[in-house]
Amino acid sequence: MHRLSVAPMMDWTDRHCRYLHRLITRHTLLYTEMVTTGALIHGDVARHLRYHAEEHPVALQLGGSEPADLAHCARLAEQWGYDEVNLNCGCPSERVQRGAFGACLMAEASLVADGVKAMLDAVSHVPVTVKHRIGIDRIESYEFVRDFVGTVSEAGCKVFIVHARNAWLKGLSPKENREIPPLRYEMVYRLKQEFPGLTIAVNGGITLNEQVQAHLEQVDGVMVGREAYHNPWVMADWDYRFWGAEPSGLTREDVERLMCDHMAREQAEHGTPWHTMARHMLGLRNGLPGARRWRQVWSDHRLRAHTPHEVMALAHAGAEAASPV
């Protein structure tokens, strides 16, 4: 299941984004945005956990550190039918740190282990996984991440998704934390060598299918983040190339039309404005003639009173007019 996945990305990988991605790839594992335990315990559970049946396989990523709270939320995930529960030990934002979870948890491996054990005890069949960095701040020794994985695996975690960068807890923004600390894939490869019985997936800076293939020769899985969001058609041949499955046969236009159906349905049933869903597919025509004009039409706030299908027709007319003859 972890051979290929799309990363959890705050404000991006909501259920509408995942619906789009599932139209393009049927087998890739999709992750929710990180949902905090507090939001589930004190907030609107349905708003955070509702998803479309078509999204499977789909994993819920949790942010939290209290074992009892994590156990409660893992139980909710199982009740709602998620295929996996993932604990975030990699987010470096200061807001997340104030909640005492995310990347700062790597300094408290025993607490993470307690949380994992509590979640596993609370569910009957849903796997519990951990996503983390290779280190925090200036701790760059392999032994640090090795000991973290070793401690947490003893609690029963069998799957680790490793962002191959350190997280600097002070001085860098979340965006800078995705770009400035150097990528060190060899650290992740070494984890797989030392823990052959665990499933180890690599994440960070992966943009090309050739890179995915190269990583799969070293580890069990690859998680792709921003490239899958900004250039979703990169996933069009994943089912065939990495899963050995027949391609769906859908064209970009087919996917766009099906998204229009989805947006119209969501607007009618839940009152969700279509433009809040359409933003996820603005990269769908990257590289095609007229793509810039197509994006401009889909982003035009003056068209929000139109139906999604009407906007699609206008976007294609605009793209055609803007394309070189």
Is 91 one of the catalytic residues? yes
State how far the Cα of 96 lies from the Cα of 103, in Å rounded to an integer: 9
Backbone phi, psi, residue 31, to 5°: -115, 145
Amino acid at 182: P
17 beta partners: none
86 beta partners: 61, 129
Given the residues 17, 73, 89, 91, the one annotated as active site: 91
Which residues make Cβ contacts (< 8 Å) with residue 169, sequence separation at least 6? Answer: 92, 94, 97, 103, 104, 136, 137
Beta carbons of 185 and 164 less than 8 angstroms apart: yes
State how far the Cα of 266 lies from the Cα of 123, in Å rounded to an integer: 31
Q: Which two tokens stand for residue 137?
A: 């701040």
Beta carbons of 282 and 298 less than 8 angstroms apart: yes
State how far the Cα of 158 lies from the Cα of 279, in Å rounded to an integer: 35
User: Dihedral of CA 76/82/86/91: which sign?
Assistant: negative
Distance, C-alpha 322 to centroid of its chain: 34
For 65, counting Cβ atoms within 10 Å of its Cβ (0-12 exposed, 13-18 middle, 19+ buried), the class is buried
State how far the Cα of 80 lies from the Cα of 47, in Å rounded to an integer: 12
Residues annotated catalytic, as ranges: 91
